[in-house]
Chain A
C-alpha cells in the first residue's frame, strides 16, 4: 500500500492509502466518489477518461486516467470535469466554463459519456493556443490533431468540432 496526496479541483486530497495498482479513474470513482470522469475502454484508446494535470509552469496537460496509475499523480494538481464550473455554497452551478458553454450552446453531445474527455482536451487545447497562437487558417487541422483520438458514438463529431472552433475563435490571443 502507498499514500497518495494531491489536489483535485483545487481541493487538497489525502494522504489516502491505496493499493499501488489502482488506476487514477479507479481512485476517482471508488475512493473519492467523483464519477464525472468516464470509463470507456480501459485501455487508453477512447479518451473518455481524459483529465487535466496542471503543471508547475501553469501549462495544462491531459492524461488518460484509465491507464494511468493513481500514484503517478502524487503531489500534482488535477482538474476533472467536476471542477470547471463555478459553484455557489450549495454546490449549484452559477457559471459555466467557456468551453462548457460552447458545448451546450452547440448541442455538441448527445448521451454525454464522452463529454468529459472532449471537454478536458478542449480546455487544454485552448490554454495551449493562448500560449502559442496558431494561424486562423490552420484551426481545423489543429482541432483535428488535438481531438483526433477521442471517440464519440452518438454525434459524428460535427457539433463538437464546431463548438471547439467557435470557442477558439471567440477566445482572444489563440489565433494569429
Chain B
C-alpha cells in the first residue's frame, strides 16, 4: 500500500522527548484507523456509561461496552493491517530462550526445520555485537546469550527468529519450542549468578526515645542510612558498634544491643523462619509487541504492552540512539493500548525491547507475542522471601518490645525492581504495630530464576503476612486473645513507624479491630465449629484473622493531568496513568464532578507526552540527590525532581487523583467561578448600587441546575463557559505534581494574581491564545514564583501513606485429601474517599482471590524445575478458581472516611495481604498444625495430619 510520509502533526501524535537525536512520539490509543473501535473509550465515550444524575454512581465502566463487544483495544489485538500507514504484511518473531543456566550455550540447531519453514533471519548475539546494540542500562547487558557462554539465568533469550508467514512461524515454533536439541549446550558450569553481588542490601534500625514523646535515639529518618561491605558477594555489616559514632557505628550499636537484649531478656520471644514462594502475575493477556521500521521515513513504530510507557519512551529512545545501525532512525512512535491485566508484571518489563530488536531486522511489520509457556518462562515474578524473625513481647503488658528480622530475597536473573521491593518489604514488616525497637536486614540476591519485579504485594505481602502469623502464634503461646494482643500493640496517631516517620493521616487500626472482632464469623466460631464438624464428617473447621496496613507510593510520584471544558460544556480529562482494568479511567472521570459539576465526557490515559507543554526538566535521581542540589534546582521554575511516573493501581487512586482533582480545582477557581460571579453581577444583582456578596468561593456549589452561589440562580456550565471565554479565562488546565510522602506546593501567577496550589507546574489553555505568551504547545506556562518540595531527608522515611485492611476467613479442611474450602470471608477496608464504589468492591474481591492463591495454591519452584525451564502453564500452576474463593460468600465492609475531604487511598494490593495470614491461622485452628511457608498445599496439610 502507499506509505504516507511521516507527519506527526497530521497524525495528531504528541512528541514526548528527544533522546540522543531520536524524537519519541506517543500515539493515543485507537488513533489508528480501526473500524472496530467505534465503541471504545476514549475514541468515543459509550453512551450511557455515566448517569446523567451526577449524585449517583456511573452506570457502568467507561470502557465497558468496548470490552463486552470484543473491540480491538488491547495491545495484543493489533496486527499490521490495523495500524494506519503500516504495510498490511505481518511478519512474526519467535524468541528462543535457554531452559537452563548450568551449561555453556553452544548455539542454535535449526536442523529439525524443513527448508520451507526456516526463518528468513536469525537475530543473535553476534548481531548485537556487530551493531553495538545493547539493552537499556536499567536491564543490564547480555540481551542475547553468546555462543560459548552460559546463560545468565533460565529463560535467558538466545535468539529471535523472523518469519514472513504465520504458518511458517507456527510450524517452526511447534518444532522448536520443547525440542531439547534446538539449543545446543556444552560443558556444565557453575551458574553465573553465584559470582554476582546482591542486587540490594538494606538495614532499617530504630530505637525509640528514652522517654515517651522524646526524639528517637536512632532511626533512618533522623540518622540516615548506611550500607554493608560486600565480601564474596555477601553483605557484611562491619561497622564497629559505637553509641557516639557515625551513622553506621551508632546503628550497629543499637542493632547489636537489641539482638543481645532479645537473646538474654525475659520477654516472650517467638523465633521463627518464614518462607514465601515465587509467584507468576498471570495477567490474562500474555505480553505482545508489534513493530515496524519505516526506513523510508526514518521512523520506528511500535505497539507495546506496558504499565510504564513513559519509561519505555526514554529507555527505547536511548537504546536506538546508541547503535550505528539505528542512527538513521529519527522518530519512535509508541502506541500504548489497554493491557489485559498488569499486577506489576508489565511494569518495566524487558519484553518490548526484544520486539524493538526484532523490528530492526525485520523486512516488514513484525509481531512478537508470548504464548503462556513463554510468559511463564520470561515474565516478571513476585520475589520469594526467606525471613528469620524474632518478635519479643513483654509478658505482662503484652507490648512488643522489639523485632529483629533477617530477610533474603530471590531477585532472579536480572535486577529489576529488586532494590525497592527489598526496602519496602523490610519496612513493611511492622504492619499495624508500633515497634519501639527494631532491626531489619534485607538482602536481595541474584539467581538463575526468571527476573522478579514489582508484582502486586511489592514485598509487603510477604513480610506483613509473616508478621501476622507471628502475632497469631504469639497470642496462642501467651494465652491471650488475639484481638487484645493486636489492640495493645496497634499504632496510635502520633507514633512513628519503624523508620521514625509519622504516617500521614489518621491511624484507625483500633477502630478496625473493634469492628472486626464483633463479626459473627469471629463471635460464633466455637459454636459454628461444633455444628459444622458434626454436620460434615471428615471436615475440620477453622477461623482465622489477619490485618495489614499497606503502604502505597514510591516517594517520587509525579502524576500529571489536563482538564479542559469545551464551549459546549463537554469535559475532557487527560492523564498519564494506564488503564489496567482497575477502572482508573472511570474514577478519574468521576472525581472532577466535585469541581465541575459533572463527570468528564471523555478520558484519555497514558498521555504523558502531552505534558511536555509544561516544559519541565529533571536532573538528578530523586532518591539520591542532596538537599543542596534540590534547593539549587528549585530556583529554576522549570525544574522538577521527576517528570513522569509508572502506573499502578494502588498509585492511581491517590496520586493520579490528586493531579486530576487539582487541575479541575484550578479550572474552577480561575475560570468558572470568576465567570459565574461576572454573570451574576451583570444580570442578577444591582451592581451599580452595592458590592456583591456572592464572590466567596466557599459558597459555591453544583446542583442539578448548575452552579449556585449563595442562593443565586443556578448557572448552567455552558453559560459559564461562554462567559469565561469572553473574559479570556483559562478553560484548559494542566498540572504536574510531585509527592515525596508529602505534596510539593508552589506559588504561581495566574490571571495576574498570585496563588498557591499543591502542584509544581501549571500550564493553561486559552480560547484567545494569541493574547497570551503561548509556547509551541499552545499553552501558557504559569509563572512559578517559588516552590516547596518535601525535603530529601524524607526519602529515609521510605513510606508514610498506608491503607489498612483486615480479613476474617472461615474455612473447612478436608481431612481426607487436605483441600481447603473457603466458606466465608469478610474484609474490612479503609479506602478513604471512594470515587466509584463498584470499582473498589471489585478490587477487594479480586485482591482477596489473589491472596487465596498466594496462601494456598500458587507456586513456582526454584532450581531446574522452575518457570524458566519453559514448560510451565496453567495445567501446572493453579490460579484460584471461583470454587477456591467461596465466591458467593465474599463480603466486605468499607470503613467510612473520617470526613468528606479524606483523600482516596491505594486499594487493590492491601486486600490480598490479611487473607493470607487469616487462612494460615484458620488452617491451624482446623488442624492444630502451624505452617511457616507458602503456599500451604493440600499435600502439606495431609503430611500434618499424618
Footprint of B on A, CB under 8 Å?
Answer: 19, 21-22, 26, 29-30, 33-43, 45-46, 48, 80-82, 84-85, 90-93, 96, 100, 103-107, 109-116, 119, 140, 144, 147-161
Within the complex, the shortest CB–CB distance from B167 to chain A, in Å, comes to: 4
**Quick check: B846 and A156 within 8 Å, CB to CB?**
yes
**Quick check: B879 and A151 within 8 Å, CB to CB?**
yes
Within the complex, the shortest CB–CB distance from A162 to chain B, in Å, comes to: 9
| 6 chain-A/chain-B pairs, Cβ below 8 angstroms | A37-B70, A104-B64, A107-B61, A113-B341, A148-B882, A148-B883
**Quick check: B68 and A103 within 8 Å, CB to CB?**
yes
Task: Given A90-B38, A161-B888, verify A82-B170 contact (CB < 8 Å).
Answer: no
Taking CB atoms, residues of chain A closer than 8 Å to B875 are 41, 43, 45
Interface bits B55-90 vs A (CB < 8 Å: 1, else 0): 000011101110111111010111101100000001
**Quick check: B341 and A161 within 8 Å, CB to CB?**
no
Secondary structure class of chain A's binding surface, majority of residues = loop
Within the complex, the shortest CB–CB distance from A46 to chain B, in Å, comes to: 6
CA A147 to CA B885, docked complex, whole Å: 14
**Quick check: B284 and A155 within 8 Å, CB to CB?**
no
**Quick check: B842 and A154 within 8 Å, CB to CB?**
yes
CA A156 to CA B848, docked complex, whole Å: 7
B882 closest partner in A (C-beta): A157
6 smallest CB-CB distances across A and B, nearest first, come from A36-B70, A111-B581, A156-B845, A113-B340, A112-B67, A81-B70
Interface assignment of B873: CB less than 8 Å from any CB of chain A: yes
CA A21 to CA B168, docked complex, whole Å: 11
Q: Which of A93, A155, A157 contacts B65 (CB 8 A)?
A: A93
Within the complex, the shortest CB–CB distance from B404 to chain A, in Å, comes to: 36
Taking CB atoms, residues of chain B closer than 8 Å to A109 are 67-68, 581
CA A116 to CA B73, docked complex, whole Å: 13
Interface assignment of B839: CB less than 8 Å from any CB of chain A: yes
- In B827-871, the 8 Å CB interface with A consists of 838-839, 841-842, 844-850
**Quick check: A111 and B61 within 8 Å, CB to CB?**
no
Within the complex, the shortest CB–CB distance from A6 to chain B, in Å, comes to: 18
**Quick check: A104 and B341 within 8 Å, CB to CB?**
no
CA A111 to CA B77, docked complex, whole Å: 14
**Quick check: B69 and A111 within 8 Å, CB to CB?**
no
**Quick check: B283 and A159 within 8 Å, CB to CB?**
no
- In B354-397, the 8 Å CB interface with A consists of 371-373
Footprint of A on B, CB under 8 Å?
Answer: 35-36, 38-39, 46, 59-61, 63-65, 67-72, 74, 76-79, 81-82, 90, 166-167, 170-171, 174, 282-286, 338-343, 371-373, 580-583, 838-839, 841-842, 844-850, 873-875, 879, 881-883, 885, 887-888, 890
CA A34 to CA B849, docked complex, whole Å: 31
CA A157 to CA B853, docked complex, whole Å: 13
**Quick check: A144 and B882 within 8 Å, CB to CB?**
yes
Taking CB atoms, residues of chain A closer than 8 Å to B286 are 39-40
Taking CB atoms, residues of chain B closer than 8 Å to A21 are 170-171, 174
**Quick check: B841 and A93 within 8 Å, CB to CB?**
no
CA A48 to CA B286, docked complex, whole Å: 12
| Sample of 15 further A-B pairs with CB below 8 A, known A30-B166, A112-B338 | A21-B171, A26-B166, A33-B81, A34-B70, A46-B874, A81-B68, A84-B68, A85-B68, A109-B67, A112-B68, A154-B341, A154-B842, A157-B882, A159-B842, A160-B882
Within the complex, the shortest CB–CB distance from A45 to chain B, in Å, comes to: 4
CA A159 to CA B882, docked complex, whole Å: 11
Within the complex, the shortest CB–CB distance from A27 to chain B, in Å, comes to: 10
Taking CB atoms, residues of chain B closer than 8 Å to A48 are 284
**Quick check: A149 and B881 within 8 Å, CB to CB?**
yes
Task: Given A38-B340, A158-B845, A161-B887, verify A114-B68 contact (CB < 8 Å).
Answer: no
Q: Which of B72, B371, B850, B883 contacts A144 (CB 8 A)?
A: B883
**Quick check: B371 and A42 within 8 Å, CB to CB?**
yes
Q: Which of A39, A111, A116 contacts B341 (CB 8 A)?
A: A111
CA A123 to CA B284, docked complex, whole Å: 21
**Quick check: B842 and A155 within 8 Å, CB to CB?**
yes
A44 closest partner in B (C-beta): B875
Taking CB atoms, residues of chain B closer than 8 Å to A43 are 372, 873-875
**Quick check: A115 and B68 within 8 Å, CB to CB?**
yes
**Quick check: A110 and B849 within 8 Å, CB to CB?**
no
Within the complex, the shortest CB–CB distance from B379 to chain A, in Å, comes to: 13
Taking CB atoms, residues of chain B closer than 8 Å to A105 are 59-60
B890 closest partner in A (C-beta): A158
Q: Which of A91, A112, A150 contacts B38 (CB 8 A)?
A: A91
Task: Given A104-B61, A156-B890, verify A41-B881 contact (CB < 8 Å).
Answer: no
Taking CB atoms, residues of chain A closer than 8 Å to B580 are 111
Within the complex, the shortest CB–CB distance from A158 to chain B, in Å, comes to: 4
Within the complex, the shortest CB–CB distance from B174 to chain A, in Å, comes to: 8
B889 closest partner in A (C-beta): A158
Taking CB atoms, residues of chain B closer than 8 Å to A90 are 38
CA A149 to CA B581, docked complex, whole Å: 21
**Quick check: A22 and B167 within 8 Å, CB to CB?**
yes
